[in-house]
Amino acid sequence: MKVPLSPPNLEVLLRSIVEVGGVERLNRLLGDPAGPAPNGRYLHWDELRYRQPPPGLSADDWWFSVKTARRLLYKPIPITDKTGRPFVFALVDPVLALLHRLDRVSGRVWKRPNPGDSPSVARMNRAADARQPVNAANTAGSRSGSRST
């Protein structure tokens, strides 16, 4: 497996941006509408650098803009890297959508009937898994499906 190329250092990029284009260029990059997930995709530097940047931006400018937007969303976790810095993550919209889909799929896969469930509860669980509406007529009665009168 190929190890991805490390992204450019943000501090070095910031100095370069200000030296070359001044505060105006920095303001333009910080206001870039691409946000933390350009075109709805969470791309690592190693992927983003091969894509066509927005008009007027270099790949480095684009990365600076994306990475800065992500940093505003960072949440630290209690795990550190080899230098002692905490790992962080950003919950951007594409990641939230994937987590939601994973949650929905894994709920269906891992849901198992409990031995103590009544037949009506078991039918409701099966109907929920099949995304079928459940009404009182479907859940009332015995295992054979007959209704008591």
Cα distances (angstroms) measured from residue 48 to each of 15, 16, 39, 59: 21, 19, 11, 8
- For the chain, strand residue ranges (E) read 74-80, 86-90
pTM for the full predicted model? 0.62
pLDDT at 18: 92
Q: What does the block give as tokens for 19?
A: 């030296």
Q: Measure the CA dihedral 10/13/18/19, to 10°.
A: 140
Mean pLDDT of 58-64: 93
pLDDT in tens, 83-139: 999 999 888 888 888 888 888 887 765 555 566 655 655 665 666 665 544 444 444
Mean per-residue pLDDT of the chain: 79
Residue 33 or residue 68, greater confidence: 68
Nearest to 21 by CA among 46, 75, 55, 58: 58
